[in-house]
Amino acid sequence: VRGVVTVGDKAIETYSVHTETIWLDPLRRNQQIDALAADADKDYTYGLVGGDFNTATPGSIGALTKRFAEVGYERMSEGLGFTVIKSGIKFDIDHIFAKGMSFLDGGVYRETEASDHFPVWVDLRLD
């Protein structure tokens, strides 16, 4: 899902993402990520992309981070920790990327049973 959020006089191109599950073809998930990165409008100074990217390995997280860096986005949720536990294994599959913003604070809220994912959040400042 894509939309434009206006904060004061600043327009923020915003995406909510859910790529293919980790059990399906990684090529398809990478194609979805490439399409999203290609769609990110270069005319917007500010951008925000967040959601479930189904990145089950450090390599897939690295590739995702690199792909978004190529279009000017920084992984703001880096280092916040796991967002899913399946069969006792912790996965970092939910991420937030931003362009034109600085990280102030963030975390993963694990005191909930509302979903099989723990909500990841960041507090950002428009640069």
C-beta pairs of 21-29 under 8 Å, 24+ apart in sequence: 21/54, 22/54, 22/55, 22/56, 22/91, 22/93, 26/60, 29/53, 29/54
- Residue 33 CA, chain-centre distance (Å), reads 10
H or E segment and range at residue 98: strand 94-99
pTM: 0.93
* pLDDT 10s digits, 27-42: 888 899 999 999 987 8
pLDDT (tens digit per residue) in 60-114: 999 999 999 999 999 999 999 999 999 999 999 999 999 999 999 999 999 988 8
